[in-house]
């Protein structure tokens, strides 16, 4: 059933995947990329528990689960100069910090927070951009698995979550963003970003919450 008929939400587990965007220490813990940009990283931590609930329900339902990490090669050859120059503060991508070099693959800060550690067999995609489709094999993985619907969680609501949902929408996927399992350093951006998705009859997706999505997954798996 289409996500347009989302009352109660029904999901086809065989064609639905959960994608958890960038729940990395670099965004959620002090000393990483988020903090380097001047943000209060504690604001993102409310998304951890709903993501844990989603992960448990999705695993029980047998969904394809994909984790993403934003970050760059140690030599920064995959980072556009425009991205490296931004930020305004004294530290930049690639500089040393308390969790290793900021936003660099293989460094401690680049890892996913331990509460949401990927299980063996769950694909982890390294992405150099904000969108999860850009310069990754996400489209190939989804096509090979017959996925048409994405449940989307992670951070940040208005940047990497939004970019990924917009990319997915243009590729024909139905996207359901899980409102309490996404998070932003800016509560107002979070609220407006969610409103933008569903405006005009679902202009590029849908929004639900983790309780309803977990209930739908439990029903679908029964």
Question: 179: which residues sit within 8 A by CB, 6+ positions away?
Answer: 194, 207, 208, 209, 210
Site membership for ligand C5J, residue 160 (CB under 6 A): yes
Query: Least distance to ligand C5J from the beta carbon of 156, Å?
Result: 4
- Shortest distance (Å) from residue 47 CB to ligand C5J: 12
# binding residues, ligand C5J (CB under 6 A): 8
Residues contacting 94, CB < 8 A, separation 6+: 72, 76, 79, 84, 101, 102, 103, 104
Selecting among 26, 51, 130, 160, the annotated active-site residue is 160
Footprint of ligand C5J on 24-83 (CB under 6 A): 27, 70
Stretch that binds ligand C5J, among 112-120, 131-139, 154-162, 210-218 (CB under 6 A): 154-162
Decide whether 155 or 217 has the Cβ nearer to ligand C5J.
155
Residues in contact with ligand C5J by the rule CB under 6 A: 22, 27, 70, 130, 155-156, 159-160
């Amino acid at each position: 059933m289409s996500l347009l008929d989302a009352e109660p939400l029904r999901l086809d587990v065989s064609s639905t995947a959960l994608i958890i965007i960038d729940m990395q220490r670099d965004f959620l813990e002090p000393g990483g990329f988020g903090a380097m940009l001047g943000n209060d990283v504690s604001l993102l931590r409310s998304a951890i528990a709903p993501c844990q609930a989603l992960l448990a329900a999705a695993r029980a339902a047998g969904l394809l689960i994909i984790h993403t990490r934003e970050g760059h090669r140690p030599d920064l050859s995959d980072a556009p100069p425009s991205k490296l120059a931004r930020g305004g503060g004294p530290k930049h991508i690639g500089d040393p910090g308390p969790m290793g070099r900021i936003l660099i693959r293989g460094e401690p800060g680049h890892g996913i927070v331990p509460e949401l550690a990927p299980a063996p067999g769950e694909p982890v995609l390294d992405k150099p951009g904000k969108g999860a489709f850009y310069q990754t094999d996400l489209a190939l993985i989804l096509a090979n698995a017959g996925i048409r619907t994405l449940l989307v969680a992670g951070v940040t609501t208005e940047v990497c979550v939004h970019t990924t949902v917009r990319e997915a929408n243009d590729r024909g996927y139905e996207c359901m963003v899980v409102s309490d399992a996404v998070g932003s350093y800016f509560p107002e951006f979070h609220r407006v970003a969610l409103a933008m998705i569903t405006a005009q009859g679902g202009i590029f997706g849908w929004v639900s919450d983790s309780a309803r999505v977990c209930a739908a997954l439990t029903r679908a798996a029964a």
